[in-house]
Structure 1
Amino acid sequence: MKILVSGKGGCGKSTISAMLGKYLAEKGYRVLIIDADESNPGLYRMLGLPKVKTLAEHLGGKKRAKILMAAEGKGELDEELFNWTLDDIPDEILAKKGNLAVLTIGKIEEAEEGCACPYGFLARKLLEGIKLQENEVIIVDTEAGIEHFGRGVDKHVDVVVDVAEPSLESIELSKKIAGLSESLGLKHILVLNKALPGVEEKLPVKPDVIIPFDQSFIVDSLNGKEVEPIDQIETLWKSIAGRIHLFSP
C-alpha cells in the first residue's frame, strides 16, 4: 500500500508520517517513508535516524534529475529506472531501524538553485515503478500545499491522508485536497490535528480522526526527541485499512 500525507505547511504532516511509520513497523509491516518535502529537514530527527545520501544525489545530482525529466518529455526515458522492490533500493540512500526505513528524494540546498520540479519528477517515477508485497507500506511525506498533485505524484498512491489544523485556510485547502483526490479515484481521509476543545462543532467538514492539541509535542521537538505513536494513530490506521479493505499481517 502507498499512503500520501498532504496538507498546509506546519499542520503536522511529518509528525504524523513518522508516528504512522513507527506504529506500522511495530505491528510487523515493512515500512518505507519517502521524504518528498524539499525543504523540511526534520523527519530523520523525528525517527532517531541519521541523514544519508538522497535519491537525487545517488543518481548524480539535480542536474542529472533534470536530464532524466527532459528524457521523459521526449519519450526517451528508460522506464525500468525505478522498477524496484524494497530490497532493490541502494543501501546508501536508506536510513534504517528495524522494519522502518527512510528515503529522501532531494533537498533545496542553495539560493537560486532553481525550482524543485526535478525532485517531484523523481518522486513520481519512484512511486510509479516500485513494487510492494502485501506486508509492505510506503508513506509519502509531501511538501506544503498541493503542488504534488500538479506534479502527478499522487497518481501512484492508494490513499491520501489529509492533515488539517483548525484554521479557515487549512480547512479550505483540505476541501481542495479532497476534490483532487476524488478526481484521481483515491481514498481520502481527513485528520484534524492540534484540535482544541469545542472546535469540531465549528468545522464545515467532519474529520475521520481528531488529534488534540498537545504542547508536549512542541517541547519534545525543541529538545530533539523522537516522536512516538499516540492512540489516535491506531484510529488513523484503522480508517485507512477500512477504506481499502486491508487486513493486518
Structure 2
Amino acid sequence: MKILISGKGGCGKSTISAMLGKHLAENGYRVLIIDADESNPGLYGMLGLRKVKTLAEHLGGKKRARVLMAAEGEGELDEELFNWTLDDIPAEILARKGNLAVLTIGKIEEAGEGCACPYGFLARKLLEGIKLGEMEVIIVDTEAGIEHFGRGLDKYVDIVIDVAEPSAESIELSRKIGGLSKKLGLRHILVLNKALPGIREKLPLEPNVVIPFNQGLILGSLEGREVMPVQQIENLWELLAGCP
C-alpha cells in the first residue's frame, strides 16, 4: 500500500506520518516513509533517527536530477531507474530503525538555488517504479498545499490522508484535496488534527478520524523527543486497512 499525506502547512502531516509509520512498524509491517517535503527537516527528529544522504545527493545532486527530468521530457529516460523493491534501496539513503526506514528526496539548502521541481520529479519516478510486497507500506510526507497533485505524485498512490486543522483555510483546502482525490479515483480519508472540544460539530465537513489537541506533542518537539502513536492512529489504520 502507498499512502500519501496531504494538507495545509503546519497541520501535522509529518507528525501523522511519523506516528502511523511507528504504529505499522510495531505491528510487523515493513514501512518506508518518503520525505517529499523540500522544506521541513523535522521528520528525522520525530523518529529519533540521524540524517543521511538524500536521494538527490545519491544520484549526483540537483543538477543531475534536472538532467534526468529533461531526459524524460525528451523520451530518453531509463524507465528502469527506480525499478526497486524495498531491499534494493541503497543503504546510504535510508535512516533505519527496525522495520521503519526514512528516505528523503531532497531539500532546498541555498538561497537562489531554484525551484524544487527536480525533487518533485524524483519523488514521482520513485513512487512510479518501486514495488511493494505483502506487509510493506510506503507513507509519503508531502509539502504544504497541493502542488504534489500538479506534479503527479498522487497517480502512484492508493490512498490520500488529508490532514486538516480547525481553521477555515485548512478546511477549504481539504475540500480541494477531496475533490482532486475523487477525480483520480483515490480513497480520501480526512483526519482532523489539533481538535478542541466541541469543534467537530462546527465543521462543514465530517472527518473520518479526530485527533484532539495535545500540548504534550508541542513540548516534546521543543525538547527533541520522539513522537509516540496516539490511540486515534490505530483507528486510522483500521480505516486504511479496510479500504478496497
192-201 or 235-244: which moved more? 235-244
1-side partners of 2:94 and 2:198: how far apart?
A: 42
Q: Does 1:144 align with 2:144?
A: yes
Paired residue for 2:54? Answer: 54
Which ranges in structure 2 are unaligned for 5 or more consecutive residues? none
Paired residue for 1:119? Answer: 119
Paired residue for 2:159? Answer: 159
1:42 is displaced (CA, Å) by: 0.3
Paired residue for 2:11? Answer: 11
Partner deviation per Cα, 1:173-220 (whole Å, 9 max, x = no partner): 000000111111111000000000111001011000000001111100
1:125 is displaced (CA, Å) by: 0.2
TM-score, with structure 1 as normaliser: 0.98
Paired residue for 2:231? Answer: 231
1:7 is displaced (CA, Å) by: 0.1
2-side partners of 1:145 and 1:64: how far apart?
A: 26
Paired residue for 2:104? Answer: 104
Paired residue for 1:247? Answer: none
Question: After the TM superposition, which segments of 4 or more aligned residues of structure 1 sit over 4 Å from their partners?
Answer: none
1-side partners of 2:182 and 2:72: how far apart?
A: 27
2-side partners of 1:88 and 1:175: how far apart?
A: 38
Alignment-mate amino acid for residue 137 of structure 2: V
2-side partners of 1:81 and 1:90: how far apart?
A: 13
1:157 is displaced (CA, Å) by: 0.2
Paired residue for 1:204? Answer: 204
1-side partners of 2:5 and 2:67: how far apart?
A: 28
Paired residue for 1:93? Answer: 93
Alignment-mate amino acid for residue 78 of structure 1: D
Paired residue for 1:81? Answer: 81
Partner deviation per Cα, 1:99-154 (whole Å, 9 max, x = no partner): 00000000000000000000000000000000000110000000000000000011
1:20 is displaced (CA, Å) by: 0.2
- SS state of the match for residue 108, structure 2? coil
Alignment-mate amino acid for residue 200 of structure 1: R
Paired residue for 2:25? Answer: 25
Paired residue for 2:190? Answer: 190
- SS state of the match for residue 172, structure 1? helix
Aligned length: 244
Alignment-mate amino acid for residue 162 of structure 1: D
Alignment-mate amino acid for residue 148 of structure 1: H
Paired residue for 1:72? Answer: 72
- SS state of the match for residue 185, structure 2? coil
1:243 is displaced (CA, Å) by: 1.6
Partner deviation per Cα, 1:3-49 (whole Å, 9 max, x = no partner): 00000000000000000000000000000000000000000000000
Paired residue for 1:168? Answer: 168
Alignment-mate amino acid for residue 23 of structure 1: H
